[in-house]
Amino acid sequence: MYQTTNHPGIVSATGGVCAAKGFTAAGVCASIKPSNTTKRDLALMYSEVLCDAAAVYTQNKVKGAPILVDRLHLENGKAQAVIANSGNANTCNADGVEKANAMCKLASDVLGVAEEDVLVASTGVIGQILPIEPIEANIGKVASLLSKQGATDAAEAIMTTDTVKKEAAYTFTLGGKTCTIGGMAKGSGMIHPNMATMLCFLTTDAAVDHTVLQKALSDVVDDTFNMVSVDGDTSTNDTCLLMASGLAGNEPITEACGEAYETFKTALGVLLTTLSRGIAADGEGASKLLECVVEGAKTVKDAKILAKSVICSTLFKCAMFGKDANWGRILCAIGYAPADFDLEGVAVSLASKRGKVDVCAHGAGVPFSEETAADILEEDEIQILVQLADGDASAVAWGCDMTYDYVQINGDYRT
C-alpha cells in the first residue's frame, strides 16, 4: 500500500505533468462537440527529448482506436509527445484508427517529431464519429501555447464529467540527483478496477529504461488505479501513459530491482495513490470519498478482492450517502467476494476526522451509538476498516457514495 504522506525523501511539488524537466503542455477549446464553445477539449504534451515510455490499457474487449495506435507506436518503448481530446471517445467507429493516426500526424507535423513517437488518447461519447476538422484547425494554436505553465490547461482539456482537475507532482532523489515525477488524470464515471479506469498521463525526468518503466507502472497500477471503483463500469478507452526524459541526470535504472528502482517505484506509487483518491472523490454525483482498508488477510490477493467488494457494493454506497452505519452491508459484500476468511475473526470500524466507531467484532454486531456513527459519517472522507485474523496481508480500495446526481448525470450524458 502506498500512502500520500510519511515517505521520507518524497516531497510534494507543483507543476503537474510539466513539473519534470523537459516537459511542456497546453490545452485549448477546439469545439470538438458542437455544443462546446468555451471548455478546453484538446490537450498537447511535449518533451524536448525522446523519452523512454510505457503504458497500461483497459482490459475491456472493446477498445478505443487510440489504444490500437498507441500499442504500435510504443513497440520500441519510445515517445516524445501526446495529443488527447475530450468530448468524443473515438471508439466503435469504422474510421477510428484513421482518425487516431491523423491526430498523431497533425501533432508530428507541428512539433517536428516522428509520427510514431506521438501517442494519442480520446475520451467522451462512444460510437460517434470523431470530427478531425476542429483538431486540424486548432493544432497550431495548442502547439503555440506549449509551456511549463500549461499543465492545468491540459488537465482541464481532458475532463468530461469531472468537476475538478486531477494533477499532482513529487520530487525524490536518485544517486544524489533530484528527480521529479508528475501527472494528470481524468475520471469521474465509467470507473471500475480493470486498468486503468480513466486517462492518465505521467512524466518524469528520472532516467529509467522503458522495460523497467513498464514493470514499475504495471505493478503500481495494480495497487492504485485498479483499486478504484465508482460505478462498476470499465471504460473502453482507459489508458495510462508514462514518459521518462532522463534529464535529471541520474544513473539510468536498467533493472527492476535495487535501491534506485524501489525509490522510483515508491514515488510513482505515491503519485498514483494521490490521483486514485482524486478520481474516487470526484465520482459522478459523489459527496463522499470511501477508503476501505483490509488488514489481516491470508494473501494480498484476498485483501484486494475483499476491499474492492466493499467499495463496489451499491447498497453500501447508498448507505454511506444516507450516513447510515449499516455494517451488515459490509459483511454481505465481503461474504460474496471470492476470497477466503474466517468470519469469527472479522471486525469492522467506520472512521473519519470526527472519530471512529466499532460496529462489528468476531463477525457479529456490537453495541454502538447510531448518533455518533451518523456524526462520523457526516464527513466527506470515510474510512471502512476491516480487520481479519487470517494472516498479515493488507490492501486499500477507493470508491464513493451513490447519490441521486449519479442517475441524473448518466440519464442525459449524450445530450
Helix (H) / strand (E) element for 56: namely strand 42-57
Give the pLDDT confidence of 65-111 residue by residue, as tens digits.
999 999 999 999 999 999 999 999 999 899 999 999 999 999 999 99
Q: Counting beta carbons within 10 angstroms of the beta carbon of residue 3, is it exposed (0 to 12), middle (13 to 18) or buried (19 or more)?
A: exposed
Four-CA torsion 378, 383, 387, 392, nearest 10 degrees: -170
* Residue position matching grid coordinates 505493478: 219
- Return the pLDDT at 129: 94
What's the CA gap between 130 and 64, in Å, rounded?
12
Q: Which DSSP state fits 378?
A: T
Active-site residue set? 197
Nearest to 401 by CA among 289, 300, 294, 310: 289
d(CA 53, CA 203): 9
pLDDT of residue 277: 87
pTM for the structure as a whole:
0.88
CB proximity list for 58: less than 8 A, separation 6 or greater: 67, 194, 195, 196, 234, 235, 236, 237, 238, 239
Cis preceding linkage at 196, omega within 30: yes
Kindly list the domain boundaries of the chain, sorted by start residue. 11-281, 289-411
Contact 165, 155 (CB under 8 A): yes
What pLDDT score was predicted for residue 238?
Answer: 80
Which pLDDT belongs to residue 88? 93
- Averages of pLDDT over each 10 residues, the chain, 415 residues: 72 97 98 90 98 90 87 98 95 94 98 98 90 98 98 94 88 97 80 60 98 97 86 67 98 97 97 90 79 97 96 92 94 96 97 98 96 96 97 94 70 58
Look at residue 274 in the predicted model and tell me its pLDDT.
94
Burial class, 411, CB count within 10 angstroms (exposed 0-12 / middle 13-18 / buried 19+): exposed
pLDDT of 196:
41
Domain 289-411 fold is Ubiquitin-like (UB roll) (3.10.20)
Q: Which CATH number fits domain 11-281: 3.90.1150.10, 1.10.645.10, 3.60.70.12, 3.60.20.30?
A: 3.60.70.12
pLDDT of residue 197: 45
